[in-house]
Chains A and B, each alone.
Chain A
């Protein structure tokens, strides 16, 4: 075994007329890398390479490869490079190694990496980005139109609608999100109440904590909080599931079976999220107010019964309707944006990751944009 585990080396011998080089050890990947590679192997290979190059310069050197215990393409390539891409005049080698060098003769050059300097690169990049953005917008418009048509079809014949899909989506993005929205809502309620209580106490306006928490949570925080959680949770899942269906050709399978993707995959998601999100918002509102109540009790010693009694007077019912209306719009938007990105995923893993990230970022951005529109449109209502 000592011969076959020995490191590759070369030995320079003085011949009768010209110097000779004797190769010893294992000139293969295993021998060169010592099994697992790493820095010591790299140094050894660099040293070998330098020695080889030195010997390769002399044209009449005799190269004796018969003492090498093993040789493969990698070892042979190192020699080939040292010889400058041709066989030396005096070469002694075993017949089974001749085949290795045969392959090198026909080797074509690899074309240069197709990356070159482009003076208008930046301009082209901006243009491409703009085109991509327009492409996204038009794709989104098409998707929106398709969903509208599908909704019309659903309304015309509800008994033939994708009820199972809607129900499954309701469960996945609604019922299963109850835990996380409750936890986050409760904590935000506590934080908000705690911080406001400190400020309000300075002015002796303790009792206005009910107004503050009520309006803030029901009108603004509840909807946005729930929407952001749902975008991260269900939006990404929708994008990924559509993306994987694209990768595994399931979308194509649906098409060839004559099952419309929009009606069976997209529309149920949009409908389900438009139903689930308002309900989740209601739930988040309740739990957040509960958290706020608990903190107010501890911080301001405001009794819970007072909180309950004061709430209807402090917050007009219009705020609740605005909050729930936001939920319907946010839910539909999150589902649409997520499906839009899901359908654009190309069949490779990187695109899947990028698409999912973009979907979450875009749907949260769209939710906040829509929230701003709501804030302006309803600025005179309920406050």
Chain B
């Protein structure tokens, strides 16, 4: 049910015929997915449908049983270490729990990817870290706190600042609003939207949160029956008659969230 796309469009992510197996348990049975530059794609699906596993496949944290994953036209199973490292410097990842290095203060957490490049001087790194903190709305006085002393919302914001440290073209978000209160969650969504506009990012996220989905995404990929059953803008995907889509998007909760679209038609 892919939307017809112009042939010359550049794809950031290309997944072809992907199979994932854990022992005998098949998670993905021939998944195909393409993500274009500048899109905000949300992966949705029921619990255990393999959303996070698909995300991990895109990050190279899992190995496909069959099929291939290419990011920026570079296959992840390539043996070219330098190319893979260069690729990893072009994406940023926000893990569900933040995954801040608990042994390092906030400042060093954000500075780490910059220092790893071993080409910027400390003065510049300091300025960059400061800027990133400002972008995610964290005051500079928190820079020397340890991750254990931060609230959940702050951990998410700082993890996002770290994900954005190398000015990535592609950002992966795993449940970006899970565990945040509605107010924080709204401001986080606004933050990601603003950064998307400002930095012209491509965003891939896994989310359960319908509000986030309707407000933020330009495109939704639905995982069900071990496959991607639909890709496209929310409005088009909703129209597809599939039991999962019916319950996910047309349940009571979803109906309330859809009001958001009616009130604030989002701009793509």
Known contacts A28-B167, A32-B119, A111-B143; A81/B127 CB under 8 A: yes
Q: Decide yes or no whether B131 CB sits under 8 A from chain A.
A: yes
Which A residues lie within 8 Å of B107 (CB)? Answer: 110
Beta-carbon contact of A74 and B167 below 8 Å? yes
**Which B residue's beta carbon lies closest to that of A72?**
B167
A163-171, A202-210, A330-338, A342-350: which lies at the interface: A342-350
Q: Decide yes or no whether A113 CB sits under 8 A from chain B.
A: yes
Q: Decide yes or no whether B102 CB sits under 8 A from chain A.
A: yes
Known contacts A41-B119, A350-B102; A107/B130 CB under 8 A: yes
CA distance A281 to B86 in the complex (A): 56
List residues of A (311-368) whose CB comes within 8 Å of B's CBs: 346-350
Beta-carbon contact of B82 and A36 below 8 Å? yes
- Sort chain A's interface into a size bin: 35 or more
Beta-carbon contact of A35 and B124 below 8 Å? no
Among A35, A74, A106, the residue within 8 A (CB) of B128 is A74
Which A residues lie within 8 Å of B101 (CB)? Answer: 349
Beta-carbon contact of B127 and A77 below 8 Å? yes
Which B residues lie within 8 Å of A114 (CB)? Answer: 144
Q: Decide yes or no whether B140 CB sits under 8 A from chain A.
A: yes
Beta-carbon contact of B119 and A45 below 8 Å? yes
Beta-carbon contact of B123 and A81 below 8 Å? yes
Q: Nearest-CB distance from A157 to chain B (Å)?
A: 39
Q: Decide yes or no whether B12 CB sits under 8 A from chain A.
A: no
Beta-carbon contact of A29 and B166 below 8 Å? yes
Beta-carbon contact of A30 and B89 below 8 Å? yes
CA distance A214 to B90 in the complex (A): 68
* Bitwise interface map of A from 32 to 68 toward B, beta carbon under 8 Å scored 1, else 0: 1101111101101110010000000000000000000
Known contacts A73-B131, A77-B128; A350/B120 CB under 8 A: no
List residues of B (113-165) whose CB comes within 8 Å of A's CBs: 116-121, 123-124, 126-131, 134-135, 139-141, 143-144, 146-148
Q: Decide yes or no whether B1 CB sits under 8 A from chain A.
A: no
Which A residues lie within 8 Å of B148 (CB)? Answer: 346-348
Q: Nearest-CB distance from B44 to chain A (Å)?
A: 28
Q: Decide yes or no whether B47 CB sits under 8 A from chain A.
A: no
CA distance A48 to B88 in the complex (A): 25
Q: Decide yes or no whether A125 CB sits under 8 A from chain B.
A: no
Beta-carbon contact of A42 and B119 below 8 Å? yes
Which A residues lie within 8 Å of B268 (CB)? Answer: none
Q: Decide yes or no whether A104 CB sits under 8 A from chain B.
A: yes
Q: Nearest-CB distance from B54 to chain A (Å)?
A: 26
List residues of A (74-104) whose CB comes within 8 Å of B's CBs: 74, 77-78, 80-81, 99, 103-104
Q: Is the interface of A mostly helix, strand, loop or mixed?
A: helix
Which B residues lie within 8 Å of A2 (CB)? Answer: none
Q: Nearest-CB distance from A55 to chain B (Å)?
A: 17
**Which B residue's beta carbon lies closest to that of A353?**
B103
Which A residues lie within 8 Å of B120 (CB)? Answer: 32-33, 42, 45, 74
Beta-carbon contact of B118 and A35 below 8 Å? no
- Which of A29, A49, A78, A349 is most buried by chain B, counting CB atoms within 10 A of its CB? A29
Q: Decide yes or no whether B199 CB sits under 8 A from chain A.
A: yes
Which B residues lie within 8 Å of A38 (CB)? Answer: 117-119
Known contacts A39-B118, A41-B117; A73/B167 CB under 8 A: yes
Q: Decide yes or no whether B9 CB sits under 8 A from chain A.
A: no
Which B residues lie within 8 Å of A29 (CB)? Answer: 89, 117, 166-167
Which B residues lie within 8 Å of A35 (CB)? Answer: 82, 85-86, 89
List residues of B (179-216) whose CB comes within 8 Å of A's CBs: 198-199
Beta-carbon contact of B167 and A33 below 8 Å? no
**Which B residue's beta carbon lies closest to that of A112?**
B144
Among A80, A107, A348, the residue within 8 A (CB) of B146 is A348
Known contacts A103-B135, A108-B134; A350/B103 CB under 8 A: yes
Among B89, B123, B146, B199, the residue within 8 A (CB) of A72 is B199
- Which of A77, A81, A114 is most buried by chain B, counting CB atoms within 10 A of its CB? A77
List residues of A (118-166) whose CB comes within 8 Å of B's CBs: none
Q: Nearest-CB distance from B161 to chain A (Å)?
A: 12
Which A residues lie within 8 Å of B124 (CB)? Answer: 74, 77-78, 81
* Bitwise interface map of B from 90 to 116 toward A, beta carbon under 8 Å scored 1, else 0: 100000000001110001000000001
Which B residues lie within 8 Å of A103 (CB)? Answer: 131, 134-135
Q: Nearest-CB distance from B154 to chain A (Å)?
A: 15
**Which A residue's beta carbon lies closest to that of B199?**
A72
Among A36, A73, A78, the residue within 8 A (CB) of B86 is A36
Which A residues lie within 8 Å of B143 (CB)? Answer: 110-111
List residues of A (279-332) whose CB comes within 8 Å of B's CBs: none
Q: Decide yes or no whether A381 CB sits under 8 A from chain B.
A: no
**Which A residue's beta carbon lies closest to that of B115?**
A37
Beta-carbon contact of A110 and B102 below 8 Å? no
**Which A residue's beta carbon lies closest to that of B120?**
A45
Beta-carbon contact of B131 and A348 below 8 Å? no
Q: Nearest-CB distance from A189 to chain B (Å)?
A: 43
Q: Decide yes or no whether A109 CB sits under 8 A from chain B.
A: yes
Among A39, A72, A111, A348, the residue within 8 A (CB) of B102 is A348
A-B contact pairs, 5 of them (CB 8 A): A78-B124, A80-B127, A81-B123, A110-B107, A111-B143
Closest 8 CB pairs between A and B? A37-B117, A348-B102, A35-B86, A41-B119, A350-B103, A72-B167, A42-B119, A37-B119
Q: A37-B116, A109-B140, A110-B140 known; 5 other A-B pairs, CB under 8 Å?
A: A42-B120, A44-B119, A49-B121, A72-B199, A346-B148
